[in-house]
């Protein structure tokens, strides 16, 4: 027997992501989130939403440029002083 696929509406997907429904439509239109159209209905498979979430995961240390504590500047200063 085939596995049952859980389908989400764009409204359900937006609630799970914590974003506006228009953001979900934009993600779909940009090709970042896979979706399916059945007549006028747009649905997202739960595994596709999970895959999108994994692809959006932030790697540790990748937001260093957003820090306000000056740590990036300290590293740069130390590197310049050592070099």
pLDDT of res. 82: 59
Distant-in-sequence, close-in-space partners of 49: CB < 8 Å, separation ≥ 6:
8, 13, 16, 17, 33
pTM: 0.72
For the chain, domains (ranges, CATH) are: 1-55 (1.10.1660)
Express each pLDDT in 72-83 by its tens digit: 555 555 555 555
How is the beta sheet containing 36-38 ordered, strand by strand?
7-9, 41-45, 36-38
Express each pLDDT in 24-62 by its tens digit: 999 999 999 999 999 999 999 999 999 999 999 988 888
**pLDDT tier at 64 (50, 70, 90 boundaries)?**
confident
Instruction: Please say if the pLDDT value at position 71 is more than 70.
Output: no
């Amino acid at each position: 027997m085939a596995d049952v696929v859980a389908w989400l509406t764009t409204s359900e997907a937006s609630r799970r992501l914590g974003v506006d429904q228009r953001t979900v439509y934009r993600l779909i239109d940009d090709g970042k989130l896979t979706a399916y159209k059945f007549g006028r209905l747009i649905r997202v498979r739960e595994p596709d939403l999970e895959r999108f979430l994994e692809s959006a995961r932030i790697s540790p240390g990748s937001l260093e440029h957003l820090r306000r504590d000056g740590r990036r500047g300290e590293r740069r200063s130390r590197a310049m002083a050592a070099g």
